[in-house]
């Protein structure tokens, strides 16, 4: 059963400018494993984290670094969650997520489906 769906779109150039203006934001938004990625990939991952939050009802108190986008060996993105995100998923009965990322023409996007 689908518990929630989230979608988000990020302007890559604007996101890059924000990261340049506020370097500490990279640490606040991304896990250590994500921080080294290029700006388009970071924008897509930020969109995924926003979409994830929306799929969980966008509650206050979720920590960005409690979710990480991982690319499987077959190239598919998946979500690894812990802490505040895992607690919210458990509260809603979510046991899996489906995620799709894209970036093209200066825009990054993500869709997340929470299933329980």
Low-confidence ranges of the chain (pLDDT < 50): none
Which pLDDT does position 30 carry in this prediction? 95
Fold classification of 2-115 is Ribosomal Protein L22; Chain A (3.90.470)
Cβ atoms of residues 53 and 81 within 8 Å? no
Which pLDDT does position 11 carry in this prediction? 98
Which pLDDT does position 83 carry in this prediction? 97
Q: Report residue 111 as tokens.
A: 């869709």
Phi, psi of 102 (to 5 degrees): -155, 150
Which pLDDT does position 34 carry in this prediction? 93
Which pLDDT does position 51 carry in this prediction? 98
């Amino acid at each position: 059963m689908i518990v929630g769906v989230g979608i988000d779109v990020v302007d890559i150039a604007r996101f890059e400018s924000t990261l340049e203006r506020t370097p500490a934001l990279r640490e606040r938004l991304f896990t250590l494993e994500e921080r080294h990625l290029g700006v388009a990939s970071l924008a897509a991952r930020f969109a995924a984290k926003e979409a994830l939050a929306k799929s969980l009802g966008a509650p206050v108190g979720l920590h960005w670094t409690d979710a990480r986008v991982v690319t499987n060996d077959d190239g598919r993105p998946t979500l690894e969650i812990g802490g505040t995100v895992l607690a919210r998923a458990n509260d809603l009965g979510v046991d899996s997520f489906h995620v799709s990322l894209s970036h093209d023409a200066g825009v990054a996007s993500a869709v997340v489906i929470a299933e329980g």
